């Protein structure tokens, strides 16, 4: 089994302006390497995060992850949503906000939403398909602790 950590990001909803939590990354517990962090733009990652949140009883967080239509993308995709008004929190602005955050703050300070043991096979199935991890985030990994 691999202990997997789900990380959130405190975000301001663009629509209702209230504070909401987006689900942005999963990684093996204790991992310090950027290569081991998997990001929400990969929908297999977001799907796994939703599953782990459900299984740890974080139902409202889990339910905020769902398919929503994006005008920007012109289609629906598995997305973060506002916990107050359910508005889609689009991948692009959210990714940029995380990137900006990471310029100044170690990623290890992102809030832990859930930690749960996952079967190795299930974890590797998600980790191995990473083709888009990091998405070019200019992060300072040396400070991650
Ligand atoms: Zn909102």
The per-residue pLDDT for range 59-104, each reduced to its tens digit, is: 999 999 999 999 988 999 999 999 999 999 999 999 999 999 989 9
The rounded Å distance from CA 103 to ligand 1 centre is 25
The rounded Å distance from CA 52 to ligand 1 centre is 23
pTM: 0.86
Quick check: 39 and 133 in contact, CB under 8 A? yes
Quick one: pLDDT at residue 72? 86
Q: Could you report the per-residue pLDDT of 10-49, keeping only the tens digit for each?
A: 999 999 999 999 999 999 998 876 567 899 999 999 999 9
Quick one: pLDDT at residue 35? 64
Angstrom distance (rounded) from CA 27 to CA 37: 5
Quick one: pLDDT at residue 145? 35
How large is the average pLDDT for residues 110-115? 96
42: Cβ contacts below 8 Å, ≥ 6 apart? 129, 130, 131, 132, 133
The rounded Å distance from CA 25 to ligand 1 centre is 21
Domain boundaries, the chain: 2-128
The rounded Å distance from CA 18 to ligand 1 centre is 6
């Amino acid at each position: 089994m691999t202990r997997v950590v789900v990380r959130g990001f405190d975000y301001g909803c663009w629509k209702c302006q209230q504070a909401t939590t987006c689900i942005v990354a999963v990684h093996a517990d204790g991992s310090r390497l950027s290569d081991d962090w998997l990001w929400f733009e990969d929908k297999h990652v977001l799907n796994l995060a939703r599953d782990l949140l459900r299984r740890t009883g974080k139902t409202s967080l889990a339910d905020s992850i769902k398919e929503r239509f994006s005008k920007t993308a012109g289609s629906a995709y598995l997305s973060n949503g506002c916990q107050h008004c359910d508005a889609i929190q689009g991948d692009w602005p959210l990714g940029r906000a995380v990137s900006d955050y990471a310029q100044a703050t170690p990623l290890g300070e992102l809030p832990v939403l859930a930690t749960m043991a996952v079967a190795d096979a299930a974890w590797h199935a998600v980790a191995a398909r990473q083709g888009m991890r990091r998405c070019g985030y200019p992060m300072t990994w040396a400070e991650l602790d």
